[in-house]
Structure 1
Amino acid sequence: MTETTRDPEGLSYRALAMLRAVAQGRAEITVSLEPDLYVDGLPCSDQSTAHRLAHAGLIRMPAGGVRGSRVPARLSETGQDLLAPLAPAA
């Protein structure tokens, strides 16, 4: 990622916030080769980061969506593993 503030894995705070929104079930993704991310129904302001997260395999869309439609975004196993150590202690 390109921002100067990063976590140990090299992701910006913004990218991590996007992953958290996906984990919380607040995000949708378009079925596309360059998937756009929507959080709380609004388009994400940093679609470049959304594209990188999708291409890196951290977020994904369910199979079978219609091209161009918005579907619930899901974290991949890799995305879940990346967020696990950053989750607040219960």
Structure 2
Amino acid sequence: MSSTVTTATTVTRRGISMLRAVAAGRGRLTCSSEPDLFVDGLPCSDQFTAHALAHAGLLRASEPGPLGQPVPAVLTPAGEALLAAA
């Protein structure tokens, strides 16, 4: 059994879990070029993966906000499709 889902970007099981948290409305992203992910109000322990998910276009901030301030995170259509295939 594979531990990753492969598309144009390889996403680990941890990344899939992060996408699931965002899909459930539990994620927030900071407004910056390297957005940090918070889940249930706590900083995600793997910000490298959070950055990769955002740069791959799988999740994004739901609205603009002040630099460095967290706003609700949402999945993009690509993130929804990847999660549906996981």
Scaled by the length of structure 2, what TM-score is found? 0.89
Structure showing greater Rg: 1
* Paired position in structure 1 for 2:51: 51
- SS at the partner of 1:7? strand
The alignment-based identity, stated in percent, is 53
Residue ranges of structure 2 left out of the alignment (5+ in a row):
none
Please say which of residues 6-15 and 16-25 is displaced more in the overlay: 6-15
Scaled by the length of structure 1, what TM-score is found? 0.85
* Paired position in structure 1 for 2:80: 80
Give the Cα–Cα distance (whole angstroms) in 2 for the partners of residues 43 and 64 of structure 1: 19
Please say which of residues 56-65 and 22-31 is displaced more in the overlay: 56-65
Aligned-CA RMSD value: 1.4
Count of residue correspondences: 83
* Paired position in structure 1 for 2:18: 18
- SS at the partner of 1:34? coil
Specify which structure has the higher proportion of strand: 2
Mapped pair 1:5 → 2:3 = yes
Q: Which amino acid aligns with 1:23?
A: A
Moved over 6 A (4+): none
Residue ranges of structure 1 left out of the alignment (5+ in a row):
none
